[in-house]
Chains A and B, each alone.
Chain A
Amino acid sequence: MQEQTIIPTKAESERFDLLIEAGRGAKNYWRDLWRYRELFYFLAWRDILVRYKQTAIGIAWALVRPFLTMLVFTFIFSRVAKLPAPGSVPYALLVFAAMLPWQFFSTALSEASNSLIGNSNLISKVYFPRLIVPAGSVITSFVDFLITLGLMAGMMVWYGFLPDWRLLTLPLFMALAFGSAFGAGLWLCALNVRYRDFRYIVPFIVQFGLYLSPVGFSSNIVPEGMRLIYALNPMVGVIDGFRWALLRGQSPLAGYALIASILVTSVLCLSGIWYFRRTEKTFADII
């Protein structure tokens, strides 16, 4: 066996473009992320392709699912619970405008949380920036969301209730919904790798969140004193924003709710990326 002492000179170490070392979370990370950008697309494409294989009605499920949920909600909240709709807005539209972002948020969150575990064979056998996996599932859910948005457009035409200029602000609320699902998804999927408990916690968050968000009701039924705490749920600002933008402002959007939503989403995203980056090196060892 040969003994070699290796003392790399500076010039020599510059010849190498990759340094693998403990604690050195690759300075090439963001560059790699860019190089692997098409993988976002391919993973999302795979998930969409696979999701509707061996189903009889295929992609139609993406329409049927939210539509049925909307019917149920409209029925329960307007007929059984008898909650009033503000202004001249048809109750179905009020519910559907909220269903859109909520359905996206809840599927994106659940899918992202399970995404790493679901791809454990990839994680333990190939290198790529791991961030792509949860991001890919959020993107997949976003595609579903866009389909449902088309359904919403159809319903608005049906009810003869067309949006005004406020529609132009919709992308802002879409970005907020995306950001909050992504940020929370990052936390949950990284935690899920180590603590599988989160597999059981996430469905609970989603279920509970539905009642904490103004999906089946309008935000103004929340007691005055509770509203600020209530708005810490980032989906409150998002859902109220969707209603405001789609329903000609007849459903109110409180400024504090919007600001709270932006703040909470930013915190979720930044801390999510931080935590994810901090733990991703160990994913392959513990998954």
Chain B
Amino acid sequence: MRTSSEENRMSDVVIRAEALGKRYRISHRRERRADGSPYDSSPKHEDFWALRDVSFEVKQGEALGIIGRNGAGKSTLLKLLSRITEPTEGRARIRGRVASLLEVGTGFHPELTGRENVYLNGSILGMSKAEIRKKFDEIVSFAEIAQFLDTPVKRYSSGMYVRLAFSVAAHVEPEILVVDEVLAVGDVAFQRKCMDYMKRLARNGITIILVSHDLFAVKTMCRRVLALSAGRLKFDGLPAEGIDLYEKDSRLEADPWAAGIIGEDIDQWPIIIRFVELLDADGSPRTVYDYGERMRVRIHYESRKPVRHPNFYLGIRRPDNVVCCSYSAARDGVTVPSLDGSGVIELLTPPLRLVSDLYSTYAGVWDREFKNLYCGQIGPNFHVRDEVLNQHFGVFHVPGEWRWGVNGHKNVGQTLVRPAAGAD
């Protein structure tokens, strides 16, 4: 039950976006002409609308989630609202101080200590020196980095970095807090802490706009979501419905590679993937996995005509489109003569050895011999998290077996699992 004064406050609109649009102009390199003349004389420009005709209102104290696939315009929208770039058309009206956290530790200087960076980052986010001094202890204790306060942040782990960065931004005491996909890097306990903190802010009348791939987080944090697709607002309403729509939006998309083989029109395919669920080993939905965790994938399919020797596959791609690994049912000895109707097939992966990054999935159906492709679609994204392992370690990291040879020592060539205690 809300009191009437609270009701009043809640009905105050603090953001009103009217037909917001942002156009980017992409220039292409001039291409060599076929007739041998060196260059086409006219430069080629292409207009690209990252966002178009987006209108919505946000009320004070609302926690609004923004979801959508990569390139749907989420980040552009946040950049417009935080005044980093200006819209090409439309307008937005805002009441109150906006603090935005679009990237982890923006403005952090690696050479400076944690203490120095709190002051620097705080002032970049619009706090006065007096405010920072007042909040300093709170910021540090929230970030749990007290003992590293005088260490340069270049020596911080990515987890510590995120904690400090989030902590500074959260203590700006904005009236509107804008948070882009930044929490995925921190550990689970800290993520929960941030979520709780944001919920508390929202209860105190602070408006929160959250962009996340973590649909679970959006569902728990937000009472309302906007779903964007290709720069347009597709949905504005309850999280459960919006997330459903988002999942539908993502499950329907054909993998461009597969579309090149079997045609763009998904409706003509003999079988389609209705959606792909990413779960943990125990079967609860997940979007973030720790390195070494197993992933349970449920592929929901629907066939329109009988498919012979269906061979389901699931592939994992890095953001730069490198295929990191894939699983095939037939390779693993699972195949049936024919398949008709709808159903679900489940895959439990071995422990994930991928390095920390954002990954996208794609799923589809080959025949047993990998000769005919029946379907191929893009599935959901997920993160793998590890404090140390990143792309510098390669695509995968699999522990190796080491042997230590010290010249003149009789034990050369013995496998050392770890230095034996007290062996000296």
Q: Do the beta carbons of A20 and B87 come within 8 Å of each other?
A: yes
CB under 8 Å from chain A, chain B span 118-134: 119-120, 123-126, 128-129
Q: For the complex, is B395 an interface residue (Cβ under 8 Å from A)? A: no
* A126 near B84: Cβ-Cβ < 8 Å: yes
Q: Interface 1/0s, chain A 9-24, versus B by CB < 8 A?
A: 0000101111111111
Distance between A241 CB and nearest chain B CB, rounded to angstroms: 35
> Are the C-beta atoms of A42 and B119 separated by less than 8 Å?
yes
A153 near B: Cβ within 8 Å?
no
* Closest residue on chain B to residue A39 by CB atoms: B123
Contacts A20-B83, A20-B86, A125-B106 known; A46 to B120 CB distance under 8 Å? yes
- Report the bound CA distance from A282 to B236 in whole Å: 30
Contact A1 B234 (CB under 8 A): yes
CA distance A123 to B124 in the complex (A): 11
The proximity string for A residues 34-70 relative to B, scoring 1 for CB distances below 8 Å and 0 otherwise, is: 0110110110011001100110000000000000000
Q: Are B84 and A284 in contact (CB under 8 A)?
A: yes
Q: Which residues of A contact B235 (CB under 8 A)?
A: 1
**Residue B116 lies at the interface, judged by CB distance under 8 Å to chain A:** yes
Interchain Cβ contacts within 8 Å, total number: 116
Measured between C-beta atoms, what is the minimum distance from A64 to chain B in Å?
21
Q: Is B111 an interface position by the 8 A CB rule?
A: yes
List residues of chain A with CB within 8 A of the CB of B237. Answer: 2
Is the CB–CB distance between B106 and A127 below 8 Å? Answer: no
Is B219 an interface position by the 8 A CB rule?
no
Contact assessment for B95 and A38 in the assembled complex, using a CB-CB cutoff below 8 Å = no
Asked whether A15 lies within 8 Å of B95 as measured between CB atoms, the reply is yes
Across the interface, A124 reaches (CB within 8 A) one of B55, B84, B91, B236, namely: B84
B279 at the interface (CB under 8 A from A): no
Distance of A75 Cα from B55 Cα, bound (Å): 70
Bound form: Cα–Cα A50–B116 in Å: 11
| B65-96 Cβ-contact flags toward A at 8 Å (1 or 0) | 00000000000000111111111111111111
A278 to chain B, nearest CB (A): 12
The complex places the Cα of A188 from the Cα of B163 at a distance, in Å, of 37
Please measure, in the bound complex, the distance between the C-alpha atom of A20 and the C-alpha atom of B111, giving whole angstroms.
35
Interface size class, chain B: 35 or more
Task: Please report the C-alpha to C-alpha distance between residue A94 and residue B93 in the assembled complex, in whole angstroms.
Answer: 58
- Complex CA–CA separation, A156 to B124 (angstroms): 41
**Given the complex, which residues of B lie within 8 Å of A49, measured CB to CB?**
111-112, 116
Does B95 lie within 8 Å of A20, measured CB to CB? Answer: no
Q: Does B402 contact A (CB under 8 A)?
A: no
On chain B, the residues within 8 Å of A125 by CB distance are: 84, 102-103, 106-107
Which A residues lie within 8 Å of B89 (CB)?
A: 22
The reply to whether A38 and B100 contact each other, CB–CB distance below 8 Å, is no
Which residues of B have CB within 8 Å of A45? 120
Contact with B along A239-271 (1 / 0, CB 8 A): 000000000000000000000000000000000
Contact A16 B93 (CB under 8 A): yes
* B129–A284 touching, CB < 8 Å: no
Contacts of B153 in A (CB 8 A): none
A42 to B128, CA, bound (A): 10
* Interface residues of chain B: helix, strand, loop or mixed (majority): mixed
Inter-chain contact A19/B82, CB cutoff 8 Å:
no
| Interface status of A77 (Cβ within 8 A of chain B) | no
Contact flags A105-142 to B (C-beta < 8 A → 1, else 0): 00000000000000001111111100000000000000
Q: Judging by beta carbons under 8 Å apart, are B87 and A53 in contact?
A: no
Q: Which residue of A lies closest to B79 (CB)?
A: A284
Contacts of B112 in A (CB 8 A): 46, 49-50
Q: Tell whether, in the assembled complex, residue A126 and residue B106 are in contact, meaning their CB atoms are under 8 Å apart.
A: yes
Of B57, B85, B119, B129, the residue contacting A281 (CB under 8 A) is B85
Partner of B85 from the list A6, A19, A41, A284 (CB cut-off 8 Å) is A284
State whether the Cβ of B187 lies closer than 8 Å to any Cβ in chain A.
Answer: no
A38 neighbours in B (Cβ, 8 Å): 123, 128-129
Hey, which chain A residues are within 8 Å of B83, CB to CB?
Answer: 18, 20, 26, 127
Given contacts A1-B236, A6-B16, A50-B112, contact A126 B82 (CB under 8 A): yes
In Å, the complex CA distance between A21 and B107 comes to: 26
Verify if B109 is at the interface (C-beta below 8 Å from A). Answer: yes
Alpha-carbon gap, A126 to B82, bound state (A)? 7
Q: How far is the CB of A206 from chain B (nearest CB, A)?
A: 26
A8 CB–B CB distance under 8 Å: yes
The yes or no answer to B24 lying at the interface (CB within 8 A) is: yes
| Complex contacts, A127 vs chain B, CB 8 Å | 82-84, 98, 100
A50 to B112, CA, bound (A): 7
In the complex, the answer to whether A281 meets B126 with C-beta atoms within 8 Å is: no
- Other than A6-B57, A20-B83, A284-B85, give 19 A-B pairs with Cβ distance below 8 A: A1-B234, A4-B55, A6-B55, A16-B95, A18-B95, A20-B93, A21-B91, A26-B83, A41-B123, A49-B116, A53-B111, A54-B111, A125-B84, A125-B103, A126-B125, A127-B98, A281-B85, A284-B79, A284-B84
B residues adjacent to A (C-beta < 8 A): 16, 18, 24, 55, 57, 79-96, 98, 100, 102-103, 106-107, 109, 111-112, 116, 119-120, 123-126, 128-129, 233-237
A-B contact pairs, 25 of them (CB 8 A): A1-B233, A2-B237, A4-B55, A8-B93, A18-B94, A20-B86, A20-B91, A20-B93, A21-B90, A22-B91, A35-B126, A39-B124, A42-B119, A46-B109, A46-B112, A46-B116, A46-B120, A50-B112, A54-B111, A126-B84, A126-B106, A126-B124, A127-B82, A128-B124, A281-B85
The 6 closest A-B pairs by CB, nearest first: A16-B93, A21-B91, A127-B83, A42-B123, A125-B106, A18-B94
